[in-house]
Amino acid sequence: MAECSGLQFVSPYAFEAMQKVDVVRLAALSDPELRLLLPCLVRMALCAPADQSQSWAQDKKLILRLLSGVEAVNSIVALLSVDFHALEQDASKEQQLRHKLGGGSGESILVSQLQHGLTLEFEHSDSPRRLRLVLSELLAIMNKVSESNGEFFLKSSELFESPVYLEEAADVLCILQAELPSLLPIVDVAEALLHVKNGAWFLCLLVANVPDSFNEVCRGLIKNGERQDEESIGGRRRTEALRHLCKMNPSQALRVRGMVVEECHLPGLGVALTLDHTKNESPDDGVSDLVCFVSGLLLGTNAKVRTWFGTFIRNGQQRKRDNISSVLWQMRRQLLLELMGILPTVRSTHIVEEADVDMEPNVSVYSGLKEEHVVKASALLRLYCALMGIAGLKPTDEEAEQLLQLMTSRPPATPAGVRFVSLSFCMLLAFSTLVSTPEQEQLMVMWLSWMIKEEAYFESISGVSASFGEMLLLVAMYFHSNQLSAIIDLVCSTLGMKIVIKPSSLSRMKTIFTQEIFTEQVVTAHAVRVPVTGNLSANITGFLPIHCIYQLLKSRSFTKHKVSIKDWIYRQLCETTTPLHPQLLPLIDVYINSILTPASKSNPEATNQPVTEQEILNVFQGLSGVNPNFYSQELGMQHDLCMWFYVQGENTRLTQRYSITTQLLVLYYVLSYEEALLANTKILAAMQKKPKSYSSALMDQIPIKYLIRQAQGLQQELGGLHSALLRLLATNYPHLCIVEDWICEEQITGTDALLRRMLLTNIAKNHSPKQLQEAFSMLPGNHTQLMQILEHLTLLSAGELIPYAEVLTSNMNRLLNAGVPRRILQTVNKLWMVLNTVMPRRLWVMTVNALQPSVKIVRQQKYTQNDLMIDPLIVLRCDQRVHRSPPLMDITLHMLNGYLLASKAYLNSHLKETAEQDIRPSQNNAMGPEAPEVTREELKNALLAAQDSAAVQILLEICLPTEEEKAQSSNTHSLLKSVHSTTGPKSPELEEEDSLLCNLREVQCLICCLLHQMYIADPNIVKLVHFQGYPCELLALTVAGIPSMHICLDFIPELIAQPELEKQIFAIQLLSFLCIQYALPKSLSVARLAINVMGTLLTVLTQSKRYAFFMPTLPCLVSFCQAFPPLYEDIMSLLIQIGQVCASDVATQTRDFDPIITRLQQLKEKPLEVSGICKDSSNKSFSRDIASMDPDVRLCQCVENTIIEIINMSVSGV
C-alpha cells in the first residue's frame, strides 16, 4: 500500500497511551498525533463513565482541558449529537432494499438526491448527512465484499481517497463504528477497508480509537486471509495492513505471528513480522529470532505447517529473484547477512601444505569460528538444510559460496564445536552440489583431512564421547560396503530431519572417501586403535566407536585384513553401565557370528577369536588380591563360595570391579555363543572346523540365577537384555526356569521381604557359619540354639544367606536322626528354598552329596554337576530316611525335577555337539544321510522316556508302606485304602495308626504333586508307566491324588487289548477307580467295553487263566455299578454267565454244585427279597466250602459275594 506512504500513522507511544488511558502521556502528544485520536477522546469526555472514582474524575478534567484547544473537537461533538437510533433504522432498511434488488445501485434510503459528487456532497453537508454519506458508502463496500466469494477487488471511492477530507472521514468512520457496533462489526469494517485506497491508514485509526479490539481485528483479518499472501494483490495489501497494525502495537507482533502459524495463512506476514522484530532487537551473538522461527516451522512436528511454509518458499522462487520488495528475498538477504557476520574475518585464500607450518596440532592455518558463534553457526546450517531439503530452496551462487566457507571453518574444541563439525560433514554429504569447482573440492578434502587429524584432540579436550571421528569411520565403512541408504539414514538422523537424498549424488563423495581418504585397510586398522567409550550407556547419544566396530564386523573387514578385534570388544563390554546402549546386543551377536562363520568358503580360518575363559572369569571374580591363575586350577567348592562372597559385597566388604551390566552382557555372550555353536555344528563339521566350546566347569562358576534376578529388577534400564537372557535360559538351562521357582521368588522378594528386613536385628546379623556348625553339632541333645539361629537366618535376604549354604547342606544328614523337631526341618526347608533362588546348581550338588547314605559318605564319593545331569536318578539314591521326612523329601523332589529337565537339555546339546558323527558314516551309508540322525534322535527319546518312567516307578515304590509300617498296623486292609476312608467313629487304634503314618501320607501328597506336573508336561509318560504297570495297591492313591490321571481313559482300551493277562487285569482295576473318580460319559463307554471284554475272555480262557483273571477283576464290577447304575443288567448277566461256566466245569466232577447255581438264579430274579437271607447263607456256605481248593468253586463264591455287594450297595443307596 504505497498510497499510505505520505500519511501519518498512530505511533506506538500514542497507541500505548490510549490502551492504558494514560492522560499524562496523551498530554505529551503533538497536535498531529492527538488529532488522530480525537474520536475516542471526545466520546470519552462526553459519555457518562462507568468509572465513578475520584481519580477518573481528575483524569477526565485533564482530557477536557486537552481537548479545549483543538478546533476539530466541535465537528466531532456535532457528529455525536445525531439520532443514531433513526440512522440505524434507515441503514437496516437500505440493506434490506439492496438485498431485495440484488445489490444493484438503486434508490438509497440513507442518501437521496445527490446533486454533486460524493466529495462535494460531503463538504457541503452537515454532520447528520456526513454520517449518512459515509455509512452508505461503507455498507456498499461491505455488501460487495460479502458477495465477492473471496475474490479480491479494489473499490474506487472519492470519500476515502481525497487527501483533504481523510481526517474528517476517519472521524465519521470511528464515530459510526463506536455508536453502531451491531450494524458495523469492527472485523467486517476492517475487511471492507482493505478494498479501498488508504485502507491501512483508516484501519489503524479505527483500531487506535478502539484499542481493545486489536487482537480481534488481527485474528479476523488473518482468518479471512489467503494461504499464500504474496501470490495476489489482496494478500499483499492484507499483509501490509497487518504490518502497520503491528508497528503501531509492537508488543503484540509475536502474538499476531502465532495467529498466522495457527491458521496457516499469510506466511509472508509471519516472515515480515519476524524481520521487523529482528531489526528492533539488540544484536548479540545468540541465535536470531528469524532463524528460530523459520527452523521451528520447517523442523517442527506439525506436518501441515511444514507443507504450508514449504509451499511459500517454492512459490516465492518462481517469481523474479530481483524483486527486492519480496518478503522471501528480504528473508534470504537477512539470513545471508547473519551467516556472513559470523564467518572468520581472517582466512587464508590459499592452501598451505602441512609441512610448511610449524605449530601445535590443534592450530590451523585457517582462522576458526569464535566460540560464541558456534551455536549460531550450527543453527544456521540446520536452517539452510531444512530450506534446501524440505522447502526446496535453490541457493544462489553467493549463498552456496558463503555456506561452503562456513561449513569448512574450524570451530574450537568444545562439545558445540563437535556438533558443528558433525552437522557440516552431514550437510556436505546431503548437498554435494554446493561443491562445484575443483578449488572448492580441494578445500573440502583439506577440511576432511583436518577432521581426521584433529578428531582425537577434539574428543580429549571437549570431553564428548561421541565425536565426529566415529561418524567419519562409519561413513567410510558404508561407502566401502556400498550401503548408500545407510549413509542417507545417518545424515538424516544427525541433521534431525527427513530429507530426500539421491544415492547418485553421493558418487563423487564415495570416490573421495574410498580412494583418497579412507581405504578399507586404513579404516580397519584405525578402528581398533579408537579407544572404547567409557561408561557406555544409552544416555550417550550420537555416533560412537561401537557403531563403527559393529559395521566393520558385519562386513567382515577385521577377518579379511587379519585384524584382531577381540580385545577391543572385551574392553568395551567391561566399560558399560545402565541404561543399556541399544547397540551392545547387536554387536555381541555379530561378533559371535564372525567367530563361528568364516568370511568366505575359500578361507575357512578367517574368523575372529573368542573371549577366553580366563577373561570371562575375571568379570565374575572381582576379588582384589586374588591370584588370577587360581581360576585356571581345578574349580571346587571353595572358589564357588568365594565368588558368592564377592557377589555379596555387603558381607565381604569387597568392591566390585565390574558393573552388573558388564556381567549380564558377558553372560549373554557366553549363552549366545554356546547356542550359536550348537546351531551351526553341522555346517562347521562339513567345513571340518570345530570352534572351541566353553567348558562346563566355567559355566558352573557363573552365578546365572543370581544375575537373572538382578536383571529382573533392572528391566527398564536393560532394554531387551532381560528377555533375551530368559530366552537363552529357557532353551539351554530349563532347570533354572522352573515355574515354581519364579512363584517362590515373588514371595521372597515381595512385601514380606521388606517386613523381614524391618525385623532384622543386630543379633541375627552377628551369627556366623561357624556358630551354625556348632549348633548343628549339638543335635539331637540340644536343639534350642539351632532353632534360634535358623529363625534369625530366615530374616536375611537370599544373597546374605549364601555364606551359610555349605554348613546348612553338609549337616542335613543330622536332621534324619530321630528326635529332631519338625520345626527345625521346616525352617531348613524354607532356608533351602530361599538359597535356591540365587545359587540353585551348586546348592543341588551340595545337597545331593549331603543326603547320600552313610556308607557313601564314609567312602567320600562326591557327585559332580555333570554326574547328576547324566543320571538324574542319583538324587533318589539317598538315605532311605529321607523318604519319610516330608521337608527333606520336598527338597529331593525339587532337585529331581530340576535334574530331569537338565538331563533333557544336556542330551539335546550332546546330540548337536556330536552331529559330525552323523555326517561321517553317511558318506558310505546306503540308507542315505538322514538314517543315522533319525536313529540317534530315537535313541535319545527312548533314553529320556526310560529315565522319566524309572523316576516315576521309584517314586511310586516310595509311596508303598514298608514292612515295619505294615507290622505296626493291626488292620488287615492296606493303609493306602484310607484315601477312601469309610464314615463312622474311629477306634483309638486307628487314630494311633493315622498319627504314625502322617509322614507317609505327606510324602505321598508331595510325590503325587510332582507326578501330576510330569504327566501334564509329557502325557506320554502316563501311558508308558501304566503300560509298565505298578502295584495295584497304589491305584487308589494315584487316581485320587493325581488330578491328571483322567487322561488314562484315552489309552485304557489299548491297554485292555494287550495280550498279557496281567496288563488286562491292571487296566480293569485302574478303570474301576477312574469310574468312581470321574463319572463321565467317556468313562461309561470304556466301562461298557471292559464288561464286553470280560464276557469275551470268559469264553476263551482256560480254567486256570479264568481263575487268575476273574478273581481280581470281579470286585471291580461293584465300582462300575456304583458309578454307572445303567450297567447293572449287563454286569448281573456277566456274573450269572461266569457262575454257569464254572458250574458246567464242576458238573463233570462228583461234587454237587446245584445249591450255588440255585442261589445265583434267585439273586438275579429277586435280589431284594433274598439279600438278607444271602448274607447268612453265604457266610455259612463260605465256611462250609472254605476247605475246598477247587478254582471254580472259589470263583463261584467270589461271584456270589460280588452280587451281594452290588445288591447291598443298591439297597443302601450308596
Better-scored residue on pLDDT, 363 or 473: 473
Which three cell numbers, joined as nine digits, stand for 790?
A: 535358623
Helices (H), 960-1080: 963-968, 988-996, 998-1017, 1019-1028, 1035-1041, 1052-1056, 1061-1077
Q: Kindly state the DSSP code that residue 600 receives in the 8-state scheme.
A: B
Instruction: List the one residue out of 570, 705, 698, 700 whose CA is nearest residue 631.
Output: 698
Instruction: Return the pLDDT at 1043.
Output: 93
pLDDT value, residue 461:
63
Could you tell me if 1039 and 1045 are in contact, meaning their C-beta atoms sit under 8 angstroms apart?
Answer: yes
Q: What whole-number distance in Å separates Cα of residue 310 and Cα of residue 629?
A: 68
* Residue appearing with cell numbers 556308607: 855
1179, burial (CB in 10 Å: exposed 0-12, middle 13-18, buried 19+): exposed
- Mean pLDDT (the chain, rounded): 79
Task: For residue 536, give the 3-state DSSP assignment.
Answer: strand
Most confident of 117-126, 635-644, 1056-1065: 1056-1065
Cβ atoms of 418 and 428 closer than 8 Å: no
Average pLDDT over residues 923-933: 48
Least confident segment among 458-467, 475-484, 826-835, 842-851: 458-467
d(CA 950, CA 728): 29
- Pick 622 or 90 by higher pLDDT: 90
For the stretch 564-594, pLDDT in tens is 888 888 988 898 988 889 899 999 999 888 8
Q: What's the pLDDT score for residue 891? A: 93
Angle between helices 214-223 and 199-209 (to 10 degrees): 140
pLDDT score recorded for residue 59: 76
pLDDT value for 81: 83
For residue 743, the one-letter residue type is I
- Using a 10 angstrom Cβ sphere, with 0-12 exposed, 13-18 middle and 19 or more buried, the burial of residue 1160 is buried
Q: Read off the pLDDT band of 474 (50, 70, 90).
A: confident
Q: Which residue has the higher pLDDT, 751 or 890?
A: 890
Distance (Å, rounded) from C-alpha 718 to C-alpha 711? 7
- Residue 440: beta bridge partners? none
Judge whether residue 656 has pLDDT over 70: no
Q: What is the pTM of this model?
A: 0.62
When pLDDT is cut at 50, 70 and 90, the band that residue 858 belongs to is: low
Is residue 222 helix, strand or coil?
helix
Contact status, residue 1053 vs residue 1085, Cβ threshold 8 Å: no
Give mean pLDDT, residues 478-501.
Answer: 84
Q: What percent of the chain has pLDDT over 70?
A: 79
Range scoring the smallest mean pLDDT among 218-227, 633-642, 1157-1166: 633-642
Tell me the chain's radius of gyration from C-alpha atoms: 50
**Res 1086: pLDDT:** 94
Mean pLDDT of 623-640: 36
The pLDDT value recorded for residue 697 is 82
**576 phi and psi, to 5 degrees?**
-125, 155
Q: Is the Cβ–Cβ distance between 603 and 586 less than 8 Å?
A: no
Q: 3-state DSSP call for residue 285?
A: coil
- One-letter amino acid at 1138 equals I
pLDDT at 1012: 94
Partners of 719 in the β-ladder: none
Find, among 993, 1192, 1207, the residue nearest to 1111 by Cα: 1192
Nearest one of 668, 666, 661 to 536, comparing CA atoms: 661
Question: Element (H or E) spanning 715, and its range?
Answer: helix 715-718
Query: Band of the pLDDT at 749, cuts 50, 70, 90?
Result: low
Output the pLDDT for position 499. Answer: 87
**Contact partners, residue 1166, CB within 8 Å, separation at least 6:** none
Query: Residue 256: pLDDT band by 50, 70, 90 thresholds?
Result: very high
* Per-residue pLDDT tens over the stretch 498-529: 888 888 888 888 888 777 777 777 777 777 77
1089 pLDDT higher than 90: yes
Confidence band (pLDDT; 50, 70, 90) for 75? confident
Give CA–CA dist 760/384, Å, rounded: 65
pLDDT of residue 114: 61
Amino acid 361: pLDDT: 37
For the ranges 279-293, 296-310, 384-398, 632-646, which has the lowest average pLDDT?
Answer: 632-646
CA-based nearest residue to 531, from 476, 622, 467: 467
How far, in Å, CA of 443 to CA of 452, rounded?
A: 15
Query: Using one digit for the tens of pLDDT, what is the confidence trace for 966-1022?
Result: 776 544 344 444 444 433 344 433 333 444 457 888 999 999 999 999 999 999 999
Angle between helices 54-67 and 38-46 (to 10 degrees): 130
Cell of 976: 493306602
Q: How confident is the model at residue 958 (pLDDT cuts 50, 70, 90)?
A: very high
Q: What is the pLDDT of residues 19-34, one digit of tens each?
A: 888 888 888 888 888 8
**Beta bridge partner(s), residue 196:** 155
